[in-house]
Amino acid sequence: MSEHHPPLRSYGRLKSRAIKPRQAALMETLLPAIRAPGGPFDPRALMPDATEAWLEIGFGGGEHMAAQAARRPDVLVIGAEPFQNGVASALRHIDEQGLQNVRVHDGDVRELLARIPDASLERVFILFPDPWPKARHHKRRLLQADLAAELARVLKPRGRLRFASDWSDYVDWSLERLGKAFRWTAERPDDWRMPPADHVTTRYEEKRLGDCAPVFLDFIRD
């Protein structure tokens, strides 16, 4: 397990608006029950009968995470998100759907990764992260070389990683960094132009806030 990590820093606001009363109540009741452990842990220990363990990094409002967990109740889905409004929204989805296979880390994903052992995940999702499009802000992007290396550490051999973005520069940036740690599986343009069969489109994605159509990059850890 990695021992040295750069100082953690969250960019932007951790809370952007008032949290609705119902969601605020879930932050007090549901979140403590499903929060990922604060110390080192094996994801499988959280759900011993799980067939796989997945991680979604930056789950936004939690739509995709909840939908994937509902489709696959046999899979433990761990979500990491530092922004309180997103966590609160995700808790509503989890509560409404009665999901028992979701755990949440309400903080920086690097803190979470540092606590889990090598080769402990089968799948990782990084969907539409903040693109920080200005060149002087590229250092703020979530996906850096050190994170790619850490994800390669925690993924099992043949483990899968999906990155999606609607900012062309971030797609190129991510392909360069992830391509050094994983094998890109695309064989034809439709493999990155078309949403994968198991993708769940969210309201955020439908807003098309980027400068290109959504691009989906699927990778495998050899």
Question: How far, CA to CA in Å, does 119 sit from each of 134, 142, 151, 160, 211?
Answer: 35, 21, 9, 12, 35
pLDDT of residue 51: 98
CA 202 to chain centre: 14
The pTM of the full predicted model, rounded to 2 decimals, is 0.91
Q: 68-96: per-residue pLDDT in tens?
A: 999 999 999 999 999 999 999 999 999 99
Q: What is the mean pLDDT of the chain?
A: 91
Q: 107-162: per-residue pLDDT in tens?
A: 999 999 999 999 999 999 999 998 866 777 788 788 899 999 999 999 999 999 99
Q: 177-190: per-residue pLDDT in tens?
A: 999 999 999 999 99
Asked if residue 93 lies in contact with residue 26, where contact means CB atoms within 8 angstroms, the answer is: no
Please report which confidence band the pLDDT of residue 2 belongs to, taking 50, 70 and 90 as the band edges.
very low
pLDDT above 60: residue 23:
yes
Asked if residue 110 lies in contact with residue 5, where contact means CB atoms within 8 angstroms, the answer is: yes
Q: Quickly name the fold that domain 21-220 has.
A: Rossmann fold (3.40.50)
Which pair of structure tokens corresponds to residue 166? 């609607």
Which pair of structure tokens corresponds to residue 1? 């397990």
Q: 53-73: per-residue pLDDT in tens?
A: 999 999 999 999 999 999 999
Strand partners, 184: 219
**Close Cβ partners of 208 (under 8 Å, ≥ 6 residues apart):** 166, 214
Which of these, 96, 51, 97, lies nearest to 72 by C-alpha position?
51
pLDDT above 90: residue 3:
no
pLDDT of residue 1: 41
Q: Quickly list DSSP for 152-186.
A: HHHEEEEEEEEEEES-HHHHHHHHHHHTTTSEE--
Query: What does the radius of gyration of the chain's CA atoms come to, in whole angstroms?
Result: 17
Per domain, the residue ranges of the chain are: 21-220
pLDDT of residue 5: 46
d(CA 113, CA 110): 5
Q: Which residue numbers are catalytic?
A: 130
Amino acid at 72: R
Q: 95-119: per-residue pLDDT in tens?
A: 999 999 999 999 999 999 999 999 9
